[in-house]
Structure 1
Amino acid sequence: MNNTFSDGSPIEVVTDFAELVAANFEGAINAICWKRKLQGDFKEIVSKLQLKENITEVTANDLLSLQLSEQGQLAREIILNDMQSLTDFGASPALNLLKSYERDETFDFISTDVYSFHVDQSPIGTDTFLCTYYGAASDILPNEQAVQKVLIPEIREKLKDLHNGPDEDFEAFLREYYFDLHYQSKPNASPINLGSGHLWRLAVQHPGQQVLPCIHRAPVERDGEYRLLLIC
């Protein structure tokens, strides 16, 4: 019933939503996947939604207002069921129609946008849930295949120059601007693509977390193609 993708993978696979939320992160496992092959035409839903901004939140009422084929209706029912399951669990799911995220081009030596490998952080115990219904999907990276960018000597020296303050305040400076949440993949690293249709639960960095947080990144969008992503 439960298994990992491969030896050394940080992923555990489950068969339904109840297992997804009940499974525990432990050891190297910091990503849990409800692996599934979805029926329905999600492309039709994307084609009938209106992009108002680069990231447009889509409500349940927006979905229900669409005139869809039978396959489109199947896809809509799956999305609505996922949103309801997560809401009943106590999460706050958001369905986003995405053209692109904002890029961070402030510095040429480090980026803090979601296209950079990073971990999510919270002051309270929580997890990140996500599912890509259509379009390019995110990647995760086993923790041993990455290094914190702030520990890379040349980046660290440039950040110290940028800080230009007392040494004892430097770590607080890194946390304040979220530099410490971003990672560089090691040579020969093998990112794992999260694929379409699967519902994922990723470990977040928080005070009570018992495992390393899951390192992940948003994909570069395909030309002319929007993404439909459920996230919370």
Structure 2
Amino acid sequence: MQPPFSNHKHIQVVSTFSDLIDLQLQGDTNAVCWSRQLHGDFQEIVNQLELIENITEITVEDLQALQLSEQGIVAREVIIKDIERLTECGASPSLNLLKSYERDDEFDFISTDVYSYHVDRSPLATDTFLCTYYGAASDILPNEQAIQKILIPEIRAKLKELFDGPEAEFENFLAEYFFDLHYQAPEDATPINLGVGHLWRLAVDHPTQAVLPCVHRAPSEAGEYRLLLIC
């Protein structure tokens, strides 16, 4: 069964890990999804892990130390295999048990935390990989629906008030504090939920990227833990 986003112009759905890695991003496509229906009890893993503060990085050794049922073992093998695959490709995957990310409430007119629609920036020719095994999943926003916050007149005016320097350096200021990475969705926007179990590759902003970076955000957890692999 194909996922609901399978025909979206920004998303290419593939059926193997090698296709996920090897697909060349071009045109409108800036997100690749290895669509999967995972087996196993991921909730059992979440229930056995210990959350320290709001985010805890979980190691393979932590997973292997868990005493799990047959279905829990199946879920653990899926996670470890994903970590191994990504590591073999040169990535540095991090498995996180999280209750919530830190909120940015420094300014009342602009937010720069991960709950705000944003793009990732990298000095290297790489992409963002992520998979939600349990809990709420992230959203992506089609680029044509994303409004860069620094271009919204009211927000730009307040940022200029915040900036105490020559006009020629204003754009550097916006990049230095990551204001330029964040976007706003119009009221009629149609975000796309990434779903649970799928392994995603999202285009990032870097000098050699051939496509637009993928605009995305973390979900509101609403008190539920998430188990997320990201790199």
- What TM-score bracket applies, with the shorter chain setting the length? over 0.9
Aligned partners of 2:94 and 2:230 also within 8 Å: yes
Corresponding residue number in structure 1 for 2:38: 38
- CA deviation profile, 1:128-164 (whole Å, cap 9, x unmatched): 0000000000000010001100000000000000003
Using the size of structure 1 for normalisation, the TM-score is 0.96
SS at match of 1:228: strand
- Name the CA distance, whole Å, in 2 between partners of 1:171 and 1:3: 40
Instruction: Kindly indicate whether the alpha-carbon contact (under 8 Å) linking 1:3 and 1:14 is maintained by their aligned counterparts in 2.
Output: no
Deviation, structure 1 residue 53: 2.1
Does the CA contact (< 8 Å) of 1:55 and 1:98 recur in 2? yes
The match for 1:62 is 62
Equivalent residue letter for 1:17: F
Q: Quote the Cα distance in structure 2 between the aligned partners of 1:220 and 1:71.
A: 28
- Kept in 1, the 8 Å contact 2:5–2:192? The answer is no
Contact 1:42-1:72 within 8 A present in 2 as well: yes
**CA offset at residue 166 of structure 1?**
1.1
Q: State the shift of 1:231 in Å.
A: 0.2
CA distance in structure 2 between the aligned counterparts of 1:22 and 1:12, rounded to whole angstroms: 12
Is 1:3–1:12's contact at 8 Å kept on the other side of the alignment? no
Amino acid at match of 1:32: V
Tell me if 1:9 matches 2:9: yes
Per-residue deviation, 1:117: 0.1
1:230 is matched by which residue type in structure 2? L
TM-score, normalised with respect to structure 2: 0.97
* Alignment-derived partner of residue 185 in structure 1: 185
User: Does residue 203 of structure 1 match 2:203?
Assistant: yes
Tell me which residue corresponds to 1:118: 118
- Whether the aligned pair in 2 keeps the contact of 1:99 and 1:221 (CA below 8 Å) is yes
Q: Distance in 2 between matches of 1:175 and 1:74?
A: 44
Q: Tell me how large the CA RMSD over aligned residues is.
A: 1.4
SS in 1 for 2:117: coil
Query: CA offset at residue 7 of structure 1?
Result: 5.1
Matches within 5 A, 1:62-141: 62-141=62-141
Q: d(CA) in 1 for partners of 2:182 and 2:86?
A: 27
Deviations 1:86-119, CA, capped at 9 Å, x for gaps = 0011100000000100000000000000000000
Over the matched positions of the two proteins, sequence identity in percent amounts to 67
Contact 2:6 2:13 in 1 (8 A): no
Say if 2:147 and 2:185, in contact at 8 Å, map to a contact too: yes
1:231 aligned residue: 230
- Give the Å deviation of 1:227: 0.2
Moved more, 181-190 or 211-220: 181-190
Moved over 4 A (4+): none
Q: Distance in 2 between matches of 1:222 and 1:148?
A: 27
The answer to whether the Cα contact below 8 Å between 1:4 and 1:13 also exists between their aligned partners in 2 is no
Question: Using the alignment, how far apart are the partners of 1:134 and 1:172 within structure 2?
Answer: 39
Rounded to whole Å, the distance in 2 between the matches of 1:177 and 1:77 is: 40
Partner of 1:152: 152
Amino acid aligned to 2:47: S
**Alignment CA distance shift 1:188-1:6 (3 Å):** farther
| Contact 1:5–1:12 (8 Å) recurs in 2 | no
Query: What residue number does 1:47 align with?
Result: 47
Aligned equivalents of 2:6, 2:95: Cα separation in 1? 30
Taking a change above 3 Å as real, the CA distance of residues 165 and 101 of structure 1, as seen in their structure-2 partners, is: same
Deviation at 1:21, TM superposition (A): 0.1
Shift of 1:8: 4.8
Q: State the Cα distance separating 1:127 from its structure 2 match.
A: 0.4
Letter of the 2:228 counterpart: L
